[in-house]
Chains A and B, each alone.
Chain A
Amino acid sequence: MHEWVSLAVLAVCGTVWLTVRGQHPYRGPTAAVIPVLVAFIVLNFCATVAVRERAIAGVGGTTRFRPAEITVMVLAWAIVPVLIWALADAGVSFALHPTTVLIIPGLAWAGVTAVRANWRACSTGLAVAVVGVAGAFAGPAGAWLVAGVGLFAVLLGNAVAAAWRQRHSVARP
């Protein structure tokens, strides 16, 4: 599934980048693009939750997230608008870059999965945070390209790592 999501992220962020790269000054995605972007994020979130719930039906133990872990991730996403508002209020240049939203959730995911000693997922979280930081140096329009290419690389790398592990270790998940 990750490979398809990675392609979709690349397509969506790449499309947004194509629409904003000629803006001087930068005004952000057009009104026509924003609903598509929001719909993609919502659809992706719902599909991820639905697929995961279906996959782990009847499974008990560490596979399921503990309430504390869910709380950490929800708080990480909830804090993003507050952080962006605070950064924008302080006049930080990259406050409104699309990649800025990735930093805190990426770090939170890395923390949650590090506690579980799930190092592949932890690396993914750290890589997402790195993409978020890299976008700060790319300018507001370039950050869309960084988000698209960066998340594409992270998700595809994750899919490759999962496939490699499945091939080389039959008896170990």
Chain B
Amino acid sequence: MTTDELDPLIHVPTRLKIVATLAALPDGDTLSFTRLQNMIGLTPGNLIIHLRKLEDADYINSTKTSNGTVSITTVALTGHGRKALDTYTHALRDLLGGL
């Protein structure tokens, strides 16, 4: 086992928090940007940067819906993202298993 198996995209603490938070939801369920921001404790700008990186890798998808004057952004973990977290978790367990 090498540290290469630890997905660098997920390994960043903030992105790990984001992915783990979204993984707690059932498949297809979404979380609002505002709630995610409150849970992770990031500024909107910081969160957007991390979400964009995850979205580029197809780990999450975001949807923007407009309700008159208010627009709501929601994010969800994709199947690919869930699988990546699963692989990451197993790799980390394998790595730490000898301790």
- Measured between beta carbons, the chain A residues less than 8 angstroms from B29 are 59-63
Is the beta-carbon distance between A61 and B30 smaller than 8 angstroms? yes
Q: CB-defined interface of A149-173 with B at 8 Å, one 1/0 digit per residue?
A: 0000000000000000000001111
- Measured between beta carbons, the chain B residues less than 8 angstroms from A58 are 31-32, 34-36
A173 to B25, CA, bound (A): 6
- Measured between beta carbons, the chain B residues less than 8 angstroms from A63 are 25-26, 29
Is A57 an interface position by the 8 A CB rule? yes
Given contacts A58-B36, A60-B74, contact A170 B86 (CB under 8 A): yes
Contact among A59, A62, A170 with B31 in the assembled complex (CB-CB below 8 Å): A59
Chain B residue at minimum C-beta to C-beta distance from A61: B29
Is B6 an interface position by the 8 A CB rule? no
Contact among A57, A59, A171 with B85 in the assembled complex (CB-CB below 8 Å): A171
Is B70 an interface position by the 8 A CB rule? no
Is B46 an interface position by the 8 A CB rule? no
Is B24 an interface position by the 8 A CB rule? yes
Contact residues of A: prevailing secondary structure: loop
Given contacts A59-B25, A61-B25, A63-B26, contact A171 B86 (CB under 8 A): yes
* Interface bin, chain A: 10 to 19
Is B23 an interface position by the 8 A CB rule? yes
A62 to B27, CA, bound (A): 9
- Measured between beta carbons, the chain B residues less than 8 angstroms from A170 are 20, 23, 85-86, 89
A57 to B32, CA, bound (A): 9
Given contacts A171-B86, A171-B89, contact A59 B23 (CB under 8 A): no
A59 to B36, CA, bound (A): 10
Is the beta-carbon distance between B28 and A62 smaller than 8 angstroms? yes
Is the beta-carbon distance between B89 and A59 smaller than 8 angstroms? no
* Chain B proximity of A168: nearest CB distance (Å): 11
- Measured between beta carbons, the chain B residues less than 8 angstroms from A172 are 23, 82, 86
* Chain A proximity of B9: nearest CB distance (Å): 15
* Chain A proximity of B4: nearest CB distance (Å): 20
Chain B residue at minimum C-beta to C-beta distance from A118: B26
Is the beta-carbon distance between B28 and A61 smaller than 8 angstroms? yes
What is A's interface to B at a CB cutoff of 8 Å? 57-63, 170-173
Leading 5 A-B pairs by shortest Cβ distance: A58-B35, A61-B29, A58-B32, A171-B86, A60-B30
**5 A-B interface contacts by CB (under 8 A):** A58-B32, A59-B29, A60-B29, A170-B20, A172-B82
Given contacts A59-B29, A59-B31, A63-B26, 7 further A-B contacts (CB under 8 A): A58-B35, A60-B32, A61-B29, A170-B20, A170-B85, A170-B89, A172-B82
